[in-house]
Structure 1
């Protein structure tokens, strides 16, 4: 297998640039550039030279032995001065070495997966960690990356393997008296796993929202200060504001960190009856996005009512309270009440995510639902006195297989290219 290399830090000028190398020629690459190979996992200062012996840079160099690196292979890192020219020179020198080539997107992580250093859920979590924008996303990704989900699935698998083994004992004794009645223990094991799977499924939607982000729609009549409020939240002129009713025709989005959670605020068209066909399209879109949003901030004119139904968790405020005279007033122009609204939104969304699970993708849901179906069928058969033990045992094995698909032990090859294409080259 080729030895691969890539810039692992951000491209462009920086204080330090890290070039990563992985494969059975990694240490040879270090020797070629630095003159000698340091003790594994000990960072040392070396002068790096090109093939002609010319000085390229002074850098910190560290090597890792096979089985003790991120990829599971012999690997090395060059911590260079963050000059574009220096990085380019080192990458060129590496490309000239026999058996070395530039890495493809995600290829380091793919090798870690193939070498058993990570499972598929951890690969997904690493991608999520790289993309994390908020504290909530960081914590969520780290929990899965640390192996928490893998460990949970491993516990379930152990219980199911024991349950299947107990049933298969009865197959071995088909013409004899079975030493003990195993049905009670098997049902208990299956129900324990089913309870855990159901808990994961209940919290999956909340976990997915943390990973992907919540949507909060700002709704109200024309000229209620929706765009001004959005600009206040964004800290910039994200939306055009005007005294002319119907200025906002499309949905304008601003993504923010609210209480450690990713939230996209939607500035929608003012809700009213209109003969303008273009504005009417904008109003229809506003209603659809508001209905689909996780919650809404309703801006209400004095003496008026919310333009659409208020759901649990929605925030209702009197619009354009520039003087700050109302307890439930809000002004995007002066900022009055904005902090309180953000606090209420954060409290509501944090409450919704309190029971989130470790699983957070539709792929996870599919595997859990399928496993649940097979295990429930096995329990039903056992409790009804079904005598076809081989069929019951097969249902348990099928349930185990779905959990193995979840962590990527089987049947995920078709997902790998899609997942790794989102990684940067150095990962």
Structure 2
């Protein structure tokens, strides 16, 4: 343990209740557990002192150097490591940054982290604090930080591509383009206000300003219309398997998951609660949900299972409705929910009955695998139709900011020619303020704590 009792405690600035930016922070940036190599990241004003103290020197910037790491007090050798130094502001955080590439044994990692904590002014980083410093030092905007967080959490290729687009500035560039257009519109209105009596001021300044406002409003309306696409790529789709008892729901879940997830039994009502499996479908993350059999039952536990099944089905993106529709399953046809009727256990049917399959109905046997590939293909097609090509919006706060900006612009557009120029200018400024929330130029303090709380300690 460190002899410095405050070494590992996070100090906060009293005025802002944010972690002290004058501290030098450190953290394990690679995954925890036994590994060949572990990476420890250090950032802050004492970074060079840390290197001089533990490695004996500050390496040539951006060049790996083999150094012996020693404890700052005892001088004991902790490890032989590859050390690289990134002087600020040309680093990820904008501060002096060092990376210690050490051997990945738990004892080595613990010893190096403890030694760093014994150096005055150094402390363990808070979750996301490296990225937060990058934001505060102007190395990244808020939308890029969100893209970085999504990239770390990406589980499918489509999530990865969307996160890369956002991290590389696709959303920021669009927002800055719209803000630039609105600045031009605002300049026209201000000229009309300030120089209305001047003879050389054009008469059509308001019309030119409104034309720019309309162009931005149209773009925002289009992005809001497909906002759910990007959010679904990030959060995933929900596919619910529903139907009466013994319709083969659990067997179908196991077949799609390609492993035994749910208990399969001939006894009706075996599944009492929902069972979830995470799945990738055409690059889209999917939560596949098995539910209790839909039927009337005197058992209060089974009644609760049926209630949960109906609730999940009504809030799903896709419902696999087994064994056609009856009084218990007809309600699954909710607005916005894609329902695929499925006739199961066709391997037990007489061959002549298979000719009665409806146009939209799929016939399959989870036991033999018949029809499973056709079902997966149908689901992949539906998933691609639902998410489309994504969009700029990936989070609810983006959609809310776009909606706020559009509301202000629509108010300016619909006010008519008698609308006072002062109010028109204020609506444009309000729209620009909403857009500024996307990249973090205004009103984001409450967003930062929620955002970085979900980051890794070393990021």
TM-score bracket relative to the smaller structure = over 0.9
Superposition TM-score, scaled by structure 2 size = 0.88
TM-score, normalised relative to structure 1:
0.94
The correspondence for 1:345, drawn from 376, 379, 395, is 379
**Structure 1 residue 191 displacement after superposition:** 1.2
Q: CA RMSD in A?
A: 2.1
Q: Which residue of 1 aligns with 2:64?
A: 43
Q: Which residue of 1 aligns with 2:341?
A: 316
- Cα separation, 2, equivalents of 1:343 and 1:406: 37
What's the CA shift for 1:313? 4.1
Deviations 1:260-306 (A, max 9, x none): 111111111212233333323322221221121101112227x9899
Q: Is the 8 A contact 2:71 2:77 kept in 1?
A: yes
Kindly indicate whether the alpha-carbon contact (under 8 Å) linking 1:300 and 1:306 is maintained by their aligned counterparts in 2.
no
- Out of 383, 389, 402, the residue aligned to residue 421 of structure 2 is 389
Task: Provide the residue aligned with 1:273 in structure 2.
Answer: 296
Q: Which residue pairs with 1:133 in the alignment?
A: 155
- Which stretch of structure 1 is more off in the superposition, 114-123 or 176-185? 176-185
Conserved 8 A contact 2:281-2:383: no
- The structure-2 alpha-carbon separation of the partners of 1:304 and 1:176, relative to structure 1 and needing over 3 Å to count, comes to closer
Partner-residue secondary structure (3-state), 2:341: strand
Aligned length: 424
- 1:21-420 → structure 2 map (5 Å cutoff): 21-51=42-72, 52-177=74-199, 179-180=201-202, 181-300=204-323, 307-308=329-330, 313-322=338-347, 326=354, 328-381=362-415, 384-386=416-418, 388-420=420-452
In 2, Cα distance between the equivalents of 1:314 and 1:304? 14
Q: 1:307 to 1:66 in 2, by over 3 A?
A: same
Q: Secondary structure at the match of 2:35?
A: coil
Residue 7 of structure 2 corresponds to none
SS for the counterpart of 2:226 is helix
- CA 1:72–1:304: 2 relative to 1, 3 Å: same
Q: What do the CA deviations read for 1:289-328 (whole angstroms, capped 9, x no partner)? A: 1121101112227x98993255774322221123696584
Match of 1:3 in 2: 24
Q: Aligned with 1:165: secondary structure?
A: helix
Contact 1:219/1:290 (<8 A) preserved:
yes
Q: 1:331 offset after TM fit, Å?
A: 2.1
CA contact (8 A) 1:222 1:245 kept: yes
Gapped regions of structure 1 (runs ≥ 5): none
SS of the counterpart of 2:285? strand
For 2:91 and 2:185, locate their aligned partners in 1 and report how far apart those are by CA, in whole Å: 37
Partners of 1:32 and 1:333 in 2: how far apart? Answer: 65
- Name the stretch that deviates more: 274-283 or 227-236: 274-283
CA distance in 2, matches of 1:338, 1:304: 24
Q: Secondary structure at the match of 2:140?
A: coil
SS in 2 for 1:343: helix
Distance 1:134 1:306, change over 3 A: farther
Distance 1:426 1:170, change over 3 A: same
Measured against aligned partners, the alpha-carbon deviations of 1:46-92 in whole angstroms (never above 9, x if no partner) come to 22222333322121111111111111111110011111111111112
CA–CA separation in structure 2 for the residues paired with 1:23 and 1:278: 57
Alignment check: 8 A CA contact 1:170 1:178 kept? no
Matched-pair contact (CA < 8 Å) for 2:188–2:209: yes
Tell me by how many angstroms 1:162 deviates. Answer: 0.7
Tell me how far 1:21 sits from its aligned partner. Answer: 0.3
> In terms of mean alpha carbon deviation, does 268-277 or 325-334 score higher?
325-334
Q: Find out whether 1:13 has 2:34 as its counterpart.
A: yes
Retained in 2: the 8 A contact 1:330–1:338? yes
Q: Tell which deviates more after alignment, 319-328 or 69-78.
A: 319-328
Contact 1:299/1:319, CA 8 A, preserved across alignment:
yes
Return the offset for 1:177. Answer: 3.3
Any idea what SS the aligned residue of 1:15 has? strand
